[in-house]
Amino acid sequence: MTQTYDYIVVGAGSAGCVLANRLSEDGKCSVLLLENGGSDRSIFIQMPTALSIPMNTSKYNWQFESEPEPYLNNRRMHCPRGKVLGGSSSINGMVYVRGHAKDFDEWQEEGAEGWDYRHCLPYFKKAETWTFGSDSYRGDRGPLGVNTGNQMKNPLYRAFIDAGVQAGYPATADYNGAQQEGFGPMQMTIKNGVRWSTSNAYLRPVRSRSNLTVVTHALVHRVVLEGKRAVGVQYERKGEVLTVRADREVVLSAGSIGSPHLLQLSGIGRRDVLEKAGIEVLHELPGVGENLQDHLEFYFQFRCLKPVSLNRKLGWASRLQIGAQWFFLKKGLGATNHFESCGFIRSKAGVEWPDIQYHFLPAAMRYDGKEAFAGDGFQLHVGHNKPKSRGHVHVRSGDPRQHPEILFNYLKEEADREAFRDCVRLSREIIHQQAMDEYRGAEIQPGVEVDTDEEIDAFVRGAVESAYHPSCSCKMGTDEMAVVDPQTRVHGIQSLRVVDSSIFPTIPNGNLNAPTIMVAERAADIIRGFEPLAPSNAPVSMDEQWQARQRPREAARALA
């Protein structure tokens, strides 16, 4: 028997959990939430410091991989996406960055009418409970817990912020408030010492609603169309293929890889791509899977002269102690992601808002948790966040189990390569400020011998990694390459929407979990026909002389 629901939401991730909560909260509309993964109850998901484990575990991760990237020495790049309740918010680094206000104004300029900063800010506020209370920029009544970790107890965090200020950049107490540009404490989605994924924040509190059905281990095959109308979804569970119908709408929230792939599996997309995969073209929409964007970063690593780094906590005895303290008290080093200070700067004069981001880590290690070298160390994760290069997601066949072809074309554009040269040179200048003198040892990576443009380019090609922020592959707008309109409706198909990071027109300067949640909050009001929240008039702090200078004042100390 075919079951019928008002709404079917595909993907219980950063957006899908929000939608399941909001669309079912009136108690009247029936909502089906389909997720290919399973439970997120694992201690390794819930304990913030264990973030490298779910991120690298196939049980919780789709384990996507790019094609050989032609501008990165033909390396295949790891592209983890969450396959579990909470989606990527259950396997990510828990960093909470909204993006710069100008990023959202840029969305509107790209054709996403109504998605400028004034209209987005109220939904950022609606989503969160900021540990320090509410103001014009922050909310204190939302499901999402946001705090600053362990309050920068390690002295390296403060030293990094001070070094940024000494280098001529501003300090910012809240980069998600009036001023992103500068150096300050990092924010994270953690509550009471626990990872506060969208599963914990939005889904778990409402699982008992009689009008909400959550089905896990469901592999969606396609959206069912009748003419130019979406009427349901076909999915497989435990070897059985089922079809469910939607009286109102189908909403894809499968992420920037999954959503365009599902559209293509359903016969919606570029004609040549679908025909090559042997899929009947039911609706030609050339932008599906195009415009793919991501952030790259590399680790700028130094030895530490004092015995204060977290490299001393990587032994099994220390790990057991940290784990026990977290298990019983939800406190200590287990209750943070360890990225507790950060920076946002502009790469050069003439760049209007920050395009380079720093995550500071008082240790030298990789995302997989492996130690970088023996002894104490620290590192900056640094990357250029407004890339010009564009890639794609293309279906390979009609088999939903076969991963799509993913090509980012990282660093294809010269402007992106130039920006990474800026990342190397500006980072060195910051770390060589007086505040870091007592901690800064030898430069391990890139190494002082990496200095010319050619040497930096070669290093970046070999060492740069994805920051795991794929987006923009079903962009929102009204031009011929747009996939959804500003109401999140798929162009030319009735009763079908996409709501996740794939609909971003351009990638923001920051991590993507926060803006994805915001998009889902705002889309939920649009879907329900609610009046949008009143736009904000909160001012945004910008460097008025951005055209003439790269930072607000001269560095206090020249590059050593």
Whether residue 51 is found in the same domain as residue 111: yes
pLDDT at residue 2 in the model: 81
Count: domains in the chain: 2
H helix runs in 83-200, sequence order: 101-109, 117-127, 155-166, 198
Whether residue 222 is found in the same domain as residue 233: yes
Whether residue 142 is found in the same domain as residue 256: yes
Whether residue 103 is found in the same domain as residue 224: yes
pLDDT at residue 48 in the model: 97
Q: Which residues are annotated as a binding site for FAD?
A: 6-35, 84, 92-95, 220
Q: Which residues are annotated as a binding site?
A: 6-35, 84, 92-95, 220
Strands (DSSP E) found in 238-308: 240-252, 268-269, 283-284, 296-304
Whether residue 373 is found in the same domain as residue 449: yes
Q: Is 202 exposed, middle or buried (0-12, 13-18, 19+ CB in 10 A)?
A: buried
Taking the C-alpha atoms of residue 514 and residue 381, their distance in angstroms, rounded to an integer, is 19
pLDDT at residue 560 in the model: 38
Answer yes or no: are the C-beta atoms of 277 and 396 closer than 8 Å: yes
* Residue 253 token pair: 């929230």
Three-state secondary structure along 527-560? HHCCCCCCCCCCCCCCCCCCCCCCCCCCCCCCCC
pLDDT at residue 558 in the model: 45
Taking the C-alpha atoms of residue 446 and residue 458, their distance in angstroms, rounded to an integer, is 10
Answer yes or no: are the C-beta atoms of 283 and 492 closer than 8 Å: yes
Whether residue 129 is found in the same domain as residue 36: yes
* Residue 240 token pair: 């059985």
Whether residue 430 is found in the same domain as residue 501: no
> How is residue 333 annotated by DSSP?
G
Q: So which residues are the catalytic ones?
A: 469
* Residue 26 token pair: 């009136």
Q: Which of 353, 416, 352 is nearest to 384 (CA)?
A: 416
Whether residue 231 is found in the same domain as residue 103: yes
Which H or E element spans position 62?
A: none
* Residue 135 token pair: 């103001």
Q: Is the dihedral of CA 192, 193, 195, 199 positive or negative?
A: negative
Whether residue 181 is found in the same domain as residue 195: no
pLDDT tens per residue across all 560 residues of the chain = 589 999 999 999 999 999 999 999 999 999 999 999 999 999 999 999 999 999 999 999 999 999 999 999 999 999 999 999 999 999 999 999 999 999 999 999 999 999 999 999 999 999 999 999 999 999 999 999 999 999 999 999 999 999 999 999 999 999 999 999 999 999 999 999 999 999 999 999 999 999 999 999 999 999 999 999 999 999 999 999 999 999 999 999 999 999 999 999 999 999 999 999 999 999 999 999 999 999 999 999 999 999 999 888 878 899 999 999 999 999 999 999 999 999 999 999 999 999 999 999 999 986 655 556 778 999 999 999 999 999 999 999 999 999 999 999 999 999 999 999 999 999 999 999 999 999 999 999 999 999 999 999 999 999 999 999 999 999 999 999 999 999 999 999 999 999 999 999 999 999 999 999 999 999 999 999 999 999 999 999 999 999 999 999 865 444 43
Whether residue 85 is found in the same domain as residue 110: yes
Q: Is 541 a domain residue?
A: no
What CA–CA distances, in Å, run from 416 to 74, 410, 413, 475? 17, 8, 6, 21
Q: Which of 33, 51, 307 is nearest to 190 (CA)?
A: 51
Any idea what the CATH number is for the domain that residue 312 is in?
3.30.410.40
- The values of phi and psi at residue 357, to 5°, are -125, 140
Q: Is 66 a domain residue?
A: yes
pLDDT at residue 314 in the model: 79
Q: Is 538 a domain residue?
A: no
Whether residue 306 is found in the same domain as residue 273: no
- The values of phi and psi at residue 550, to 5°, are -90, -25
Number of other residues whose CB lies within 10 A of the CB of residue 491: 17
pTM to 2 decimal places: 0.97
Q: Is 139 a domain residue?
A: yes
Q: Is 445 a domain residue?
A: yes
Taking the C-alpha atoms of residue 127 and residue 142, their distance in angstroms, rounded to an integer, is 4
Whether residue 368 is found in the same domain as residue 438: yes
Q: Is 346 a domain residue?
A: yes
Q: Is 551 a domain residue?
A: no
Any idea what the CATH number is for the domain that residue 21 is in?
3.50.50.60
Q: Is 553 a domain residue?
A: no
Structural domain including 221 reads 1-146+188-292+392-403+469-531
